[in-house]
């Protein structure tokens, strides 16, 4: 099982948990459409395993794991379960449509978790781990077992639990640093120890799953690869619980650029990294810090004169990889209002952006509208239009028109007219504390709901005063969260569009829940 190779080096399996560990962290929730779009991107990126969710955690999660399992063909689809039969039954149902399903079981093995959380003795944990793997194996050949908080567990106990899990049929055993406590050389030594002392280890893959509480998740993951780990668990942009998980793009590029050092690589298509990163940032509303390795805005920017000179003379003086290698599109100003459908579709292909026929029509119409307002439409503009359309939910409310009256001495008055999916128009005027507040209040009154505005962020897609404004909003109601995104050359309109898209995400999800209740 262990020791697969590619091109003469060890092949490391990439297990992506953006849709589970990433999505479950505060502020990163995604709706079904967004999850499907992310899953498609992950498959295109070439991840080996997509952890699609935790089916027993809610009917919505079960539904989304099932939907993802139905569309993904080239990656294994995993569902997370506690070591409980009810969880495994839910995962079994959710994974029915999958071509290549995996049940991912977890049970804590550290003294603190066993005593205070599980209230179980080590022997009970050992028995439950083995019994659960046996149960899952009845309906799923590919079972992974994770020893939660493994790094703070007694190493010999982890070896015993892993040995029992492998004997019961687990094909992967995963060693998480659940609380991000390990140091890289210490983590590497521990992985070596586990690999050498787990009975039957040659029949299974050894995986690692690192959290970033001390900023060392990637360092620990690659130290583990050096020490013999066969699989890494990670997320796009490193999103995840608290300080996040190990970042996929950093691990993948670390292994690729230093293949000589690791003697290992992954089957990831690195030219898809940038698009995946942008999509995850857009659908979660969690922006990538500018100085983030690989995908940050400044990752390939050279400010200092001496560096700029060096790069111009010979790129490799200051660049260890090219922007093209991770798929950063060159920002060419080539399309304008005279560009036709052919040129537009050609550019979509060049940018590696795939869209279905219905979305293509809508994006082309938006492109023409934008080209009328701006002289030139950049690749970044096109990418933003495509990303927005891809993950959009059906519209309950459509923006018809708006107007705002505002000034320094006056309050603001916003007028908005929306079209409901029933075809009827609703119009409202509202006062507010500034233009955005007045319009958002008017929208709330039309919709008849008053969600809390948790985040409102506005930025520019490209430089210059003619740039499109991109607004991200997060709204919350009854402890639930929804994201919305809006684009327009007018910042007020982009804000309105973002707010309506968040409202639509909320209406759509609540509507589906209501339908499920009535079934």
Query: Which positions lie near Zn ion, rule CB under 5 A?
Result: 21
Question: In whole angstroms, what is the distance from residue 291 CA to residue 294 CA?
Answer: 9
Which one of 25, 64, 132, 178 is in contact with ligand KIV (CB under 6 A)?
A: 178
Residue whose Cβ sits closest to Zn ion = 21
Q: If binding is defined by CB under 6 A, does position 205 make contact with ligand KIV?
A: no
Least distance from ligand KIV to the Cβ atom of residue 509, Å: 24
**Cβ distance to Zn ion smaller for residue 242 or 427:** 242
Q: If binding is defined by CB under 6 A, does position 145 make contact with ligand KIV?
A: no
Contacts of 222 (CB under 8 A, 6+ apart): 184, 251, 254, 255, 262
H/E/C letters for each residue in 345-405? HHHHHHCCCCCCHHHHHHHHHHHHHHHHHCCEECHHHHHHHHHHHHCCCCCCEEEEEEEEE
Q: If binding is defined by CB under 6 A, does position 53 make contact with ligand KIV?
A: no
Stretch touching ligand KIV by CB under 6 A, among 34-42, 170-178, 336-344, 440-448: 170-178
**Cβ distance to ligand KIV smaller for residue 25 or 378:** 25
**Cβ distance to ligand KIV smaller for residue 163 or 240:** 240
Which one of 22, 79, 169, 176 is in contact with ligand KIV (CB under 6 A)?
A: 176
Of 268, 267, 286, 266, nearest in space to 277 by CA: 286
Joined together, the tokens standing for residue 55 give 């089916």
**Cβ distance to Zn ion smaller for residue 51 or 63:** 51
What order do you get walking across the sheet with 480-488 strand by strand?
452-460, 469-477, 480-488
Q: If binding is defined by CB under 6 A, does position 148 make contact with ligand KIV?
A: yes
Q: If binding is defined by CB under 6 A, does position 209 make contact with ligand KIV?
A: yes
Pairing of strands 412-420, 397-405: antiparallel
- Phi, psi dihedrals of residue 402, rounded to the nearest 5°: -150, 160
Stretch touching ligand KIV by CB under 6 A, among 171-179, 282-290, 335-343, 420-428: 171-179
Which one of 13, 14, 21, 253 is in contact with ligand KIV (CB under 6 A)?
A: 21
Q: Which does residue 43 bind out of Zn ion, ligand KIV, none, counting CB within 5 to 8 angstroms by kind?
A: none
Instruction: Render the burial of 1-10: b for 16+ CB within 10 Å, e for the rest.
Output: ebeeeeeeeb
Which one of 25, 75, 109, 146 is in contact with ligand KIV (CB under 6 A)?
A: 146
Element (H, E) at 122: helix 122-137
Quick check: helix, strand or coil at residue 486?
A: strand
**Cβ distance to ligand KIV smaller for residue 64 or 174:** 174
> Which residues are near ligand KIV by CB under 6 A?
21, 106, 146, 148, 174, 176, 178, 209, 211
């Amino acid at each position: 099982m262990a020791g697969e190779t590619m091109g003469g080096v060890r092949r490391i399996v990439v297990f992506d948990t953006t849709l589970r560990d990433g999505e479950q962290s505060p502020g990163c929730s995604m709706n079904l459409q967004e999850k499907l779009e992310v899953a498609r991107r992950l498959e295109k990126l070439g991840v080996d395993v997509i952890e699609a969710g935790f089916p027993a955690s809610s009917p919505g999660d079960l539904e989304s794991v099932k939907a993802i399992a139905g569309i993904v063909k080239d990656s294994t689809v995993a569902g997370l379960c506690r070591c409980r039969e009810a969880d495994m039954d839910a995962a079994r149902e959710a994974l029915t449509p999958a071509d290549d399903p995996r049940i991912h079981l977890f049970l804590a093995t550290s003294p603190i978790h066993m005593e205070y959380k599980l209230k179980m003795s080590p022997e009970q944990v050992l028995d439950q781990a083995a019994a659960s793997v046996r149960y899952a194996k009845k309906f799923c050949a590919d079972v992974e077992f994770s020893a939660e908080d493994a790094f703070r567990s007694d190493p010999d106990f982890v070896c015993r639990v892993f040995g029992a899990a492998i004997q019961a049929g687990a094909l992967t055993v995963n060693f998480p640093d659940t609380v991000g406590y390990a140091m890289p050389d210490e983590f590497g030594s521990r992985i070596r120890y586990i690999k050498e002392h787990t009975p039957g280890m040659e029949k299974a893959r050894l995986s690692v799953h690192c959290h970033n509480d001390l900023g060392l998740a990637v360092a620990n993951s690659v130290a583990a690869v050096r020490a013999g780990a066969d699989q890494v668990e990670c997320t796009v942009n490193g999103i995840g619980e608290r300080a996040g998980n190990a970042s996929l793009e950093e691990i993948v590029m670390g292994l690729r650029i230093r293949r000589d050092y690791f003697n290992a690589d992954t089957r990831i298509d690195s030219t898809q990294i940038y698009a995946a990163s942008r999509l995850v940032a857009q659908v979660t509303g969690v922006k990538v810090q500018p100085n983030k390795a690989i995908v940050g805005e400044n990752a390939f920017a050279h400010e200092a004169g001496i560096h700029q000179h060096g790069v111009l003379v010979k790129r490799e003086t200051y660049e260890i990889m090219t922007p093209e290698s991770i798929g950063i599109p060159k920002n060419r100003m080539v399309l304008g209002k005279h560009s036709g459908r052919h040129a537009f579709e050609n550019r979509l292909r060049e940018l590696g952006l795939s869209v279905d026929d219905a979305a293509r029509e809508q994006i082309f119409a938006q492109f023409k509208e934008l080209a009328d307002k701006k002289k030139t439409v950049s690749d970044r503009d096109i990418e933003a239009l495509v990303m927005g359309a891809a993950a959009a939910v059906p519209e309950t409310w459509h923006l018809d028109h708006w107007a705002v009256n505002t000034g320094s001495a006056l309050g603001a008055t916003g007028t908005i007219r929306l079209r409901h999916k029933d075809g009827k128009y609703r119009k409202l005027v509202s006062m507010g504390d500034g233009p955005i507040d007045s319009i958002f209040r008017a929208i709330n009154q039309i919709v008849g709901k008053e969600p809390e505005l948790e985040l409102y962020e506005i930025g520019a897609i490209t430089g210059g005063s003619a740039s499109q404004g991109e607004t991200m909003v997060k709204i919350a109601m009854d402890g639930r969260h929804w994201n919305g995104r809006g684009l327009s050359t007018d910042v007020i309109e982009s804000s309105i569009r973002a707010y309506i898209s968040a409202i639509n995400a909320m209406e759509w999800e609540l509507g589906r829940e209501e339908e499920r209740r009535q079934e």
